[in-house]
């Protein structure tokens, strides 16, 4: 288990969601979490704040939630395939 995956699991635990270890990794490097009702969330971890800082002027990117867990910046958004 990588540090990115551990950070995402810890973020889900902090949020109070159940079954934080039932996440699936995507091809783009994010993790998909599905709750018991079937709602899917995409968690994408980043090492630095620079990625978020460069895109903070973008209106769509500003609607996403940002969490800082275990030195990672995790961007949370609703998952739509």
3-class DSSP state of 81: coil
Mean pLDDT on 47-56: 76
Residue that has been written with the tokens 């950070």 in this structure: 7
User: What integer pLDDT is reported at residue 13 of this predicted model?
Assistant: 94
12 pLDDT above the threshold of 90: yes
User: What integer pLDDT is reported at residue 24 of this predicted model?
Assistant: 94
The HSE-up count of residue 69 (CA atoms within 13 Å, CB side) is 22
Our separate counts of H helices and E strands in the chain read 3, 5
Q: Which residue ranges make up each domain of the chain?
A: 3-78
Residue that has been written with the tokens 């990794």 in this structure: 25
């Amino acid at each position: 288990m990588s540090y990115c995956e551990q950070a995402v699991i810890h973020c889900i635990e902090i949020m109070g969601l159940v079954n934080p270890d039932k996440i699936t990794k995507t091809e783009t490097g994010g993790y998909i979490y599905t709750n018991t009702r079937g709602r899917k969330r995409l968690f994408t971890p980043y090492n630095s704040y620079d990625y978020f800082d460069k895109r903070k002027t973008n209106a769509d990117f500003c609607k996403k939630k940002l969490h800082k867990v275990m030195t990672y910046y995790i961007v949370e958004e609703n998952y739509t395939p």
